[in-house]
Structure 1
Amino acid sequence: MFAKPGRGMLEEHETVPKPQFVPQRTFGTAAERARRNINAKLSNPLAGYSHAELRKRGHRFAIAHEIGDESDIRAFGLGAVLAQSPEKYDRVSGLTDQEKEVLRREFAHRWSQPWKMYAVIALCSLSAAVQGMDETVVNGAQIWYKHQFGIAGDDSRSTWLVGLVNAAPYLCCALVGCWLTVPFNHWFGRRGTIFITCCFSAIACLWQGFVSTWWAMFVARFALGFGIGPKSATVPVYAAETAPPAIRGALVMQWQMWTAFGIMLGYAADLIFYQVSDTSAIVGLNWRLMMASAMFPALVVCCFVFTCPESPRWYMSKKQYFRAYQSICTLRHHKIQAARDLYYMHVLLEAEDTMVLGQNKLLELITVPRNRRAMIASELVMFMQQFCGVNVIAYYSSEIFLEANFSPASALAASLGWGVINWLFAIPAIYTIDTFGRRNLLLSTFPLMSVAMFFTGFSFWIPESSHAARIGCIVLGTYLFGIVYSPGEGPVPFTYSAEAYPLYVRSYGMALATATTWFFNFVLGVTWPSLRYAFTTQGGFAWYAGWNIVGWWLVLLFMPETKNKTLEELDQVFSVPTRFHARYGLRQIPYFLKRYVLRRDVSPEILYEREDMAPSRDLGNA
């Protein structure tokens, strides 16, 4: 809600000669000029108002919407002033000492929050864990069910059917599930959408435990996509809309970390139920329990989701201002904070309502060059989140380890070890994503992921006679991949996509981004068994190692840095024509070699300076 103040000059790796970009703001149609000003309006709609004017506006807002009594009206007057510059609370007259102390603690002790806020954090974390567990219980279960369903052969039909069954939820996400996010959120709110999607997840997981044919498993897993798709787009939004400014970024980032935790739980469930024996009436009881076990965290979410407050922003979109105020008061220590945040939501919504440019917002993603550049960058990181090959390991690690002559129990234990690493090494990303930056993290980790993939694949050429070395190298390769994936291509795509788009098209951009990642998740899941059969395991890992090299070049050329940028600064970043950014990316290679390899004292280029306005969106259509 409140962007961090700018830093004067951008990072050293983001520059092009400034004279090349001369704003041409006097040209273009009225619609084009409106597009140029969209982010300027949204960057701080309260800029330029005096404190007296803001107090009046806050009072009028509270009175017009019949919010509370005189103390609440006073809170909205002060809240409107605070909303202009939250960190400058000490310059606002009329605050009591107690109120100043509350505001000071908000910045000095950012994790000191009301218990309702912690309940929301727990809800979002557990919802992410549901997501991860839904994805990975199939990893161990497929060892048994493919034999029971008659699709365990090495023939083309069997390999494609195994892939299709495993990838069914992600096909649903890409074709239907993710696109239900907007109507579900409109009709049922954030809590309602989370409840409905977790119900879908619980029912589908239980359903998977009762099927007896491959096509019935496909249908059950396809239905699981209705739980995965809308939830993956809604939970980060719910976290962002309820969190106070000081912890918003950290809370939204937790989605990936707790999804990794759920992935680990899925592997743990596979190992726990591995030794369960069949009964006289049930064949495959172990894999059925594995598949059904993912319903339990979903049921826990369903039981307590409505004890958490609904998103205040959603209430306001429905013109339910008093309920929005009641909701946010439970999420803040003091009504001054609640009034400040609620009023800022109000002015942002008003600003968004004026952003009607006369065409479909999905088209705005393509027709407005600034939006199109954000879309290209978002789509490429979402695409590479899958084509880096991570879910080859996430979904098929047990099969891969079995091929390396692990025992079934050892294969499941090794998979659990990978899940633990994937979770533990996601935790540092809370710090690194805002210090090293999104772009630098990916440029650093893509080459390492490629090396780990090559190493894992080539380890399958170690002779069977050297069994211990063969097993050790294969496990080491997959674990090294998890170590470098977790703080890089793991958390970056969702974080980047959530911030790259302007607010007025952000929900559409996020729907497209999540649909993209789930579609290529499906492509990877459905093709791996056949790819391994056609290319061999060595060739399959080398294929994705090559894609990591491609990903490095794509990030270098087409992905601008977004860390710690305000909306106005992001407008500048994505207003740089693509061809200029690509040329700049190429020039970074000799700069890096001179500075970090040859240790020369060289100065970085300057892409643009903060005090200059960004170039027009109409400048270059690349």
Structure 2
Amino acid sequence: MHSPSGARQGEPSIIPAVPAEPRPDTGRMTWYVYLAIAVSTLGGLIFGYDTGVAGGAAGFVADDYGLSGFMEGVVVSTSLFGGAIGAMSGGPLGDRYGRRPTLLLSGVLFTIGALLSAAASGLTVLLLSRVLLGAGVGAASVLVPVYIAELAPARIRGALVSGYQLLTTLGIVLAYGVNALFADTQAWRWSLGLAAVPGLLLAGGVLLVPESPRWLVARGRSHTARNVLRRVRGQDDVEAELREIETVHAQEARSSGGWRELNTPWVRPMVLVGVLVAFFANGCGINLVIYFAPQILQSAGMGSSSSLLATVGLGVVNVLFTVVGMALVDRVGRKPLLLAGAAGMTLTLAALAVVMSVPGLPGANGLSFTFLCLYIVMYAVSPGLGAYVVISEIFPLHVRAKATGIATFVIFATNLVIGLTSLPMLDGLGTPTTFWLFTAVCVLFVLFCLRMPETKGRTLEQLEERFRAAAAARGRVPGTGGTHSAR
């Protein structure tokens, strides 16, 4: 018997074992798929650029407006508040109007928000524009992984979905470079305004790519879906894949696709996994490092200019090892990669806490930078990309965008809390205690990874059939003779 979690016999899992034989994946990559993925992953570039630029620009904004440390955190975090709004609205919009129109709206919102941020006449306008910008980021964060997962061949879906995270890391490095470029002049308006460029590229590029064939089937447009599949698969015979999509959709025909469906017994375990992956992948402390790496390194004895250069180095490490993770995610699997990363982050954060706890430790700044690099490596090859891959493929079609929206909302909400509390924690509790707190979160992440299901190597429809059958085995799907109903 084969376990949906990829666990060995006797290993605990959130989802019980269910037999399922995969349909051979005969689809190949075509230029049309490459174009669609290249355009959609620009959503990751705008996310990464805003994440990276906010921390550097916020210091200059604080100087101009005389802001406290808390208000500086507010400037950083307002886009995350907007992202949470965009995440919750992006799913329903994507379900109702399609993946393409919602991605177009995302690019437009981000572009307008970036331009308004650059031209802001006061703090209030700046904060509101960053909420608007964040709404565009949040909607893209929901729809880009879903869109790519619904287009990509199953055998390389993980690598292609993780392209979103690769562009996110590139955006962070680009933002670090822009911050360094304008550091002497403190021209934060240019730093924020340049974000409009990738926003425009996303909005314009979406007009060139197809709609998701799975969304088209859900809307009763199978003929159009067949044509899209032929183009993206590079072959005329797509009937087996189309029938598989239609079969799963027919099974879901009695479902409303509304928010209540997320609480049905066979869907609820998938939502739980997606939400917990989203929380742990961001509650592990990565945004503390991304936003405030210069302050962390300075607390270890590194100079201000050296800490800025070191931060650029951390960004480069993030990009390089994201590529490594992309090469591993479809070979190793999601669960082993996440487990290894969670364990590695636990050890590196604990080591950082120890180094920071010893006053006057020889070589403390070098050790701190080394352990920060190792932490970034563990994050980049594991939850940095693995979380979005799992979130994009674990939810059933009829609630996929909504469930992804909830998981993405958790991402932004977690980052918002971290963005608002990081500076107060570093100032009030001290750097060592702050790192010990995030070490504890990573320990919980390890425990979760031991029980999560594996999603590698199956089509989205096969994954859905597997989880539905698991619920049927427990008597929680209508028509199975069980005592519980999913309706």
Same fold (TM over 0.5): yes
Pair 1:365 & 2:258 matched: no
Alpha-carbon distance change, 471 to 210 in structure 1, aligned in 2, over 3 angstroms: farther
- Say whether the 8 Å CA contact 1:270–1:412 is kept in structure 2: no
Could you say what secondary structure the match of 1:307 adopts? coil
- Per-residue CA distance 1:250-284 (angstroms, 9 max, x = gap): 32232223222222222222223323x3xxxxxx4
* Alignment of 1:394 onto 2:293: no
**Aligned counterpart for 2:416 among listed residues 522, 527, 530:** 522
1:490 counterpart SS class: helix
Residue 614 to residue 438, structure 1, CA distance change in 2 (3 Å)? farther
Question: Could you tell me the percent identity over the aligned residues?
Answer: 27
Flag the 1:207–1:495 CA change in 2: closer, same or farther, 3 A: same
Find the partner of 1:352 among 252, 266, 270: 252
Distance 1:433 1:246 in 2: 11
Q: Are the counterparts in 1 of residues 92 and 401 from structure 2 also a CA contact under 8 Å? A: no
Asked whether the equivalents of residues 572 and 615 of structure 1 are also in contact (C-alpha less than 8 Å), the reply is: no
Deviation, structure 1 residue 456: 2.5
Determine helix, strand or coil for the equivalent of 1:426. helix
Alignment partner of 1:442 is 2:335: no
Give the total of aligned pairs.
474
Counterpart CA distance in 2 for 1:380 and 1:398 is: 29
**One-letter amino acid matched to 2:65:** F
Superposed counterparts of 1:404-419, under 5 Å: 404-419=300-315
CA–CA separation in structure 2 for the residues paired with 1:134 and 1:315:
32
Q: In the aligned structure 2, how far is the partner of 1:213 from the partner of 1:272?
A: 24
Q: Equivalents in 2 of 1:146, 1:535: separation in Å?
A: 22
Deviation at 1:523, TM superposition (A): 0.7
CA drift of 1:520 comes to 0.9
Does structure 2 retain, via aligned residues, the 8 Å contact 1:204–1:221?
yes
Residues 189-226 of structure 1: per-residue CA shift (max 9 Å, x gap): 32221121111112212222233544333222211221
Structure 2 CA distance for partners of 1:497 and 1:245, relative to 1, 3 Å: closer
Counterpart CA distance in 2 for 1:574 and 1:326 is: 33
- 2:398 alignment partner in structure 1: 504
Q: Deviations over 1:56-109 (max 9, x none)?
A: xxxxxxxxxxxxxxxxxxxxxxxxxxxx9556xxxxxxxxxxxxxxx6xx5xxx
User: Are residues 347 and 442 of structure 1, via their aligned partners in 2, closer, same or farther at CA, if it must alter by over 3 Å?
Assistant: closer
Cross-structure match for 1:123: 39
Q: Indicate how the Cα distance of structure 1 residues 434 and 616 shifts in structure 2: closer, same or farther if over 3 A, else same.
A: farther
Partner residue, 1:545:
439
Distance in 2 (CA, whole Å) between partners of 1:197 and 1:362 is 22
How big is the shift at 1:384? 0.9
CA shift, 1:404, in A, is 4.0
Partner residue of 2:206 out of 299, 305, 329 = 305
Deviation by residue 1:399-434 (Cα, 9 ceiling, x = unmatched): 323444544443222111111111211223234334
Shift of the alpha carbon at 1:293?
Answer: 2.0
Q: Distance in 2 between matches of 1:125 and 1:182?
A: 17
Q: 2:114 aligned with 1:205, yes or no?
A: yes
Q: CA deviation at 1:516?
A: 1.1
CA distance in 2, matches of 1:502, 1:10: 16
The answer to which of 7-16 and 122-131 deviates more is: 7-16
Aligned to 2:63: 147
Q: 2:137 aligns with which of 214, 228, 231?
A: 228
The separation in 1 between residues aligned to 2:127 and 2:301, in whole angstroms, is: 29
Return closer, same or farther for 1:415/1:570 CA change in 2, 3 Å cut-off.
farther
Q: Distance in 2 between matches of 1:267 and 1:376?
A: 35
RMSD of aligned C-alpha atoms? 3.3
Checking the alignment, whether the CA contact within 8 Å between 1:205 and 1:224 is kept in structure 2 is yes
Which ranges in structure 1 are unaligned for 5 or more consecutive residues? Answer: 1-5, 24-38, 45-83, 88-102, 152-157, 278-283, 576-612
Q: Unmatched 5+ residue regions in structure 2?
A: 477-481
Alignment CA distance shift 1:353-1:573 (3 Å): closer
* Change beyond 3 A, Cα 1:379–1:332: closer
**Per-residue CA distance 1:41-70 (angstroms, 9 max, x = gap):** xx89xxxxxxxxxxxxxxxxxxxxxxxxxx
Return the alpha-carbon distance in structure 2 between the equivalents of residues 540 and 128 of structure 1: 28
- Report the Cα distance in structure 2 between the residues aligned to 1:363 and 1:313, rounded to whole angstroms: 21
Structure 2 match to 1:32: none
Give the Å deviation of 1:394.
1.1
Greater gyration radius: 1
* Partner Cα separation in structure 2 for residue 239 and residue 85 of structure 1: 20
